[in-house]
Amino acid sequence: MRSFTYERAASPAEAAKAVATTQGAKFIAGGTNLIDLMKLEIETPTHLVDVQDLGLDQVEDTEDGGLRIGTFVSNTALSAHPRVREDYAVLTRAIQAGASGQLRNKATTGGNLLQRTRCAYFYDTNMPCNKRKPGDGCAAIDGFSRQLGVIGTSDSCIATYPGDMAVAMRALDAVVETVKPDGTARAIPAADFHRLWGDTPHIETALEPGEIITHVRLPAPVGGQHFYHKVRDRRSYAYALVSVAAVIQPDGTGRVAFGGVAPKPWRSEAADAQLPNGAAAVVRTAFADARPTEQNAFKIPLAERTLAGILADAQTGTRS
Amino acid sequence: MEFNAPAGENLFDRSKIVGKSTPRIDGPLKVSGRAPYAAERHDVAANQAYGWIVGAGIAKGRIRSMDLDDARRAPGVIAIVAATEHEPVASSDFNYAPLFGGREVSHYHQAIAVVVAETFEQARAAAGLIRTSYANGDGSFDLAKVAPGAPLASDRPSDSAEIGDFESAFAAAPVKLDERYTTPDEAHAMMEPFATIAAWDGPKLTVWTSNQMIEWSRQALGSILKMDADNIRVDSPYIGGGFGGKLFVRSDAVMAALGAKAAKRPVKIAMQRPLMFNNATHRHATRQRLRIGAERDGRIVAIGHENWSGNITGEAGENATLQTPKLYAGANRLIANHVAQLDLPEGNAMRAPGELPGHLALEVAMDELAEKLGMDPVELRIVNDAQGMVPGEPDTKISDRNLTRCLREGAERFGWSKRPARPASARQGRWLTGMGVAAGYRAAPTMKSGARVRMTDRGQLIVETDMTDIGTGSYTILAQTAAETMGLPLSTVRVELGDSGYPVSAGSGGQWGAASSTAGVYAACVALRRMIGEKLGFDADAATFDGGQATLDGESWAIGDAGALTAEDSMTFGEFKKDYDVGTYAGHFAEVKVDAYTGETYITRMLAVCDAGRILNPLSARSQVIGGMVMAAGAALTEDLHVDKRFGFFANHDLAGYEVPVHADIPHQECVFLDTLDPVSTPLKAKGVGELGICGPGAAVANAIYNATGIRVRDYPLTLDKYLDRLPAIA
């Protein structure tokens, strides 16, 4: 770990400005990902702006019947919130499928959206990685890629966004609210929040330098049955091979987002439209441009089978 | 004392303490954080500095240069010992891979430097400033590629053997099985990392460390550091798991010693987790072929077990055939172990070395054979139970063997009769359910073990031995043995372990620790009893010791009247044991449910029925067995060191990437001990159980998955990607 300086910000705009104007600065909230990466010198910030004094830790009802989630609401609190449990159960289930109780107590809503990939080569600083060191090459593409991405990847990087919460938020059409260093606010739809890697896999989100997440807004509830099925090698404390967040309406329509397969929660409106035609039709559409490796090609049939199980459970009213 | 004939009736047959479930006497210290593990021993040496090990960034090749200037100038840095500035340390009888020194790199994450600084954080930060340049060499990293050319192993007599005419008998057998199985490299992944505090006092070195075998390691450190082992003290009273990974000295001890010498200060090193998987040892991957020929009634006429593994020097390897001659009869037999040279990190002992992967293959092959025969798999194993003889060893006697009872009693308790007779025939909603069985065998060796017992004038009994407690319960069973032998309450006994200043014990390994070390403490207590008898004037060997009194012919003596006394002795095991095969046996059962959509496997129940002689402490023995079952579940379902064959290393080298079971994977476990005694083992008629629990359950899980799904996967671990395409079609 490299040495760094540290400050605590008093307002979102001030925090944004501090990070934007200090070379090598980063925000720190729960620290469940950043600190680990600093110990391994994968992240080497020279300055940390601690945002824990900013408040922003409430879940509020919005006028349109939705929710506005403060960025520092912990994963535990968000998953346990009565309105979330009642109206956005896919989100509760996704959050509780992730990490461990201790980590969820510490992890924040905004921080979780920024969780970095778990690619083994990203984690080993002896190995080439374009995400860690732009232009370095990618050891994963021809290597141990079983966990890695099958779609939305590039010749530079095949890492995945590893989280669960964001997959449910994508299915719910959440909107990420931010403040930029100049103090202006903006709203970024979940669909646009995470970027595809392209030639710049070190740039992972739509956030500009210094831009800070303040809230995540959920639109009014959409009803339906809510499912989050996270398939993994062991029953807890493991990243998804494939996860499926789905909201299924009584008429068979709905929405579905896939986790563990791409640089971002993977959803398309065209694939959603295939839901009444069954899992195969959805997955055929959603994964039409997939470029899996030999080791992770199974993720596509797994996605189909996982969704098929959800659709069967939806018909019988069994929660996945 | 020499144990030179099978034990007759003795005091342990009337025991009040040995054999009774006894909570760990060290439990209160452990649950309150007062049992200091190696890296927590802040009080043993003043002025401790911190060391950080730098691991090589390549698997094979040469270090061109190491730029140490920035690191040496970094805040808090006291000393750096770097491979380019240090002669290679010597080897020992216990290491295959070189531990440190010189420019040659022989495996990934081999220690190439230690940075010593005032704080842990400073040492870590400075280590990040070392810039190393390598000349990459070519290495051999692909077992599948090199296995066909691997020579037959010759290190051990058990490596290769043919009895009768295997090929002809197999060819002529009416029912035949010929299948291949693979098991991956696996990591010990114990909770406590390798950790050592080293301090020099002139020529004398003390290491406070985490190690299973004190005397081996003292000798090994002497060889490695080219110094007189008598100038070395090794102390390891508490160990947070070892599983064979801590049988030998690793680079934490070597680098702490070298770092302390350079820094002229005591140095503490706790190896960082991401280094542990490639720096230290692992269980070797295997490729196995099983050929079994049987009569239509199920009797095996030919059994061939061939195995291929690899290691850094091409030596030893994973002897996966060990259990095969012990479990099943059959006149014509072939055993062959091949070991290839690989440039991966050193493979070495991990809990039930050989037997864990061996059972994963053999016990699935038996399941497959049972299906070909149309026989119940429990019955097939019983029909072929090699009771009464070891195949090919007509002069060897079996000491005490109750495998058939384990299987019968297990089947009864588990509800085996409810097993779906046809695979993939039990489905409820999305769940396919099934049951599986496997037999288990693990040898029960004994080794010379010594102890000292001191009776104080205040009525306390102190047991001292360099035996270790790696979480197994050694403290408690040794206290039970001493209390029983001396006729004193358990509360008067204190046990001191893990210090090379104490008499040399058998140590913890190979499932020999419990049986051997309790026999050693018994020997020392018998010596103490004789001293007391001499002092007070009675024949101790004829007297009964109970309640603090020795009684003989109606006369009693308070043993405390003998005053403070110290006795020391070892138990050695006589030649007669060579006439016997002394083993432990188990019937393992598992039930699983498999998601018909996703292939996710949930173990729902596991049962082990064990035959291991007298169970010294049923409470801690149960913990050993169910711990083994957890590890076997991991071997069956998730644990897999992924070899990157381009760079030559285990890519998933942390606890997120190497998936050991979590609580949610292990819902219900049961362990039953048969009430047996083995008079050939030790005077206590007890055998070890630390490895029996891992021998078989993985295959039982695999067989249950087959019973549930009708899908046979022969490449471990049985992750869903290997059979997704064979699951029931979805609508």
Residues in chain A: 320
**Residue B649 confidence (pLDDT) above 50:** yes
Indicate if the pLDDT at residue B249 is higher than 70.
yes
Q: Do B430 and A235 touch (CB under 8 A)?
A: no
Q: What is the pLDDT of residue B731?
A: 67
pLDDT given at position A320: 47
Mention every residue, 6+ apart, whose C-beta is less than 8 A from residue A244.
A227, A228, A229, A256, A257, A258, A259, A303, A306, A307, A310
Chain B residues whose beta carbon lies within 8 Å of the beta carbon of residue A123 = 274, 654, 657
Query: Which residue in chain B has the smallest CA separation from A4?
Result: B125
Over residues B676-688, mean pLDDT: 98
Give me the residue label for tokens 């230290």: B280
Tokens 């398309």 — which residue? A268
Side chain identity at residue A106, one-letter code:
K
Nearest alpha carbon to residue B402 among B582, B672, B586: B586
Q: Is B76 on the interface with A (CB under 8 A)?
A: no
Taking the alpha carbons of B244, B248, B254, B260 in that order, is the dihedral positive or negative? positive
CB contact under 8 Å between A118 and B656, yes or no, is yes
In 3D space, the residue among B727, B694, B696 whose CA is nearest the CA of residue B713 turns out to be B727
Does B57 contact A143 at a Cβ distance shorter than 8 Å? Answer: no
pTM higher than 0.95: yes
Alpha-carbon distance of B137 to B18, in angstroms, equals: 57
d(CA B480, CA B328): 36
Whether residue B600 lies within 8 A of chain A, CB to CB, comes out as yes
Min Cα–Cα distance to chain B from A148, Å: 12
Q: Which residues contact A108 (CB under 8 A, 6 or more apart)?
A: A29, A30, A71, A72, A73, A74, A75
Closest residue on chain B to A121 (Cα): B651
Kindly state whether A129 is in contact with chain B, defined as any CB-CB distance less than 8 angstroms: no
Q: What is the bridge-based pairing of β-strands B583-595 and B427-428?
A: unpaired
Can you say how many angstroms the Cα of residue A112 is from the centroid of all Cα atoms in its chain? 7
Nearest chain B residue to A296 by CA: give it: B721
* CB within 8 Å: A120 and B121: no
Structure token pair of residue B674? 């048969």
The phi and psi torsions of B274 (rounded to 5 degrees) equal: -65, -15
pLDDT bracket for residue B606 (50, 70, 90): very high
Summary mean pLDDT of chain B: 96
Backbone phi, then psi, for B355, in 5-degree steps? -70, -35
Cβ-contact A148, A296 below 8 angstroms: yes
**Which of B644, B650, B668 to mutate against chain A (most A CBs within 10 Å)?**
B644
Contact: A120, B652; criterion CB under 8 Å: yes
At which residue do the structure tokens 């080897």 appear?
A: B91
Check CB contact of B418 with chain A, cutoff 8 Å.
no
Residues of B in Cβ contact (< 8 Å) with A229: 598
Are A309 and B598 a contacting pair, CB within 8 Å? yes
Interchain CB distance below 8 Å, B429 and A40: no
Q: Which of A248, A80, A104, A87 is nearest to A164 (CA)?
A: A104
Alpha-carbon gap: A177 to the closest alpha carbon of chain B (Å): 31
Disruptive mutation site among B185, B593, B597 for chain A (greatest number of A CBs within 10 Å):
B597
In angstroms, what separates the C-alpha of A316 from chain B's closest C-alpha? 10
pLDDT tens readout for residues B203-212: 999 999 999 9
DSSP B357-404: HHHHHHHHHHHHHHHHHT--HHHHHHHTB-TT-BTTBTTPEES---HH
Instruction: Say if the Cβ atoms of B663 and A40 lie within 8 Å.
Output: no
Question: Which pLDDT belongs to residue B315?
Answer: 85
Convert the pLDDT of each residue in B143-162 to its tens digit.
999 999 999 987 666 678 89
Chain B CB within 8 Å of residue A6 CB: no
**ipTM score:** 0.97
For residue B558, the model assigns a pLDDT of 96
Q: What is the pLDDT of residues A270-320, one digit of tens each?
A: 999 999 999 999 999 999 999 999 999 999 999 999 999 999 999 988 754
In chain B, which residues have their Cβ closer than 8 Å to the Cβ of A118? 656-657
Contact yes or no for B597 and A318 at CB 8 A: no
Cβ–Cβ under 8 Å, residues B461 and B505: no
B667 touches chain A (CB under 8 A): no
Q: How confident is the model at residue B561 (pLDDT cuts 50, 70, 90)?
A: very high
CA distances from A96 to A78, A101, A223, A309, B658 (A): 10, 8, 20, 20, 22
Residues of chain B with pLDDT > 70: what percent? Answer: 99
Residues 135-154 of chain A whose Cβ lies under 8 A from any Cβ of chain B: 139, 142-144, 146
Q: Return d(Cα B561, Cα B54) in angstroms, integer.
A: 58
Query: Which residues does residue A229 pair with via DSSP β-bridges, in sequence order?
Result: A244
Q: Which residues of B have a catalytic role annotated?
A: 691
Q: Which residue of B73, B130, B273, B600 to mutate against A (max A Cβ within 10 Å)?
A: B600
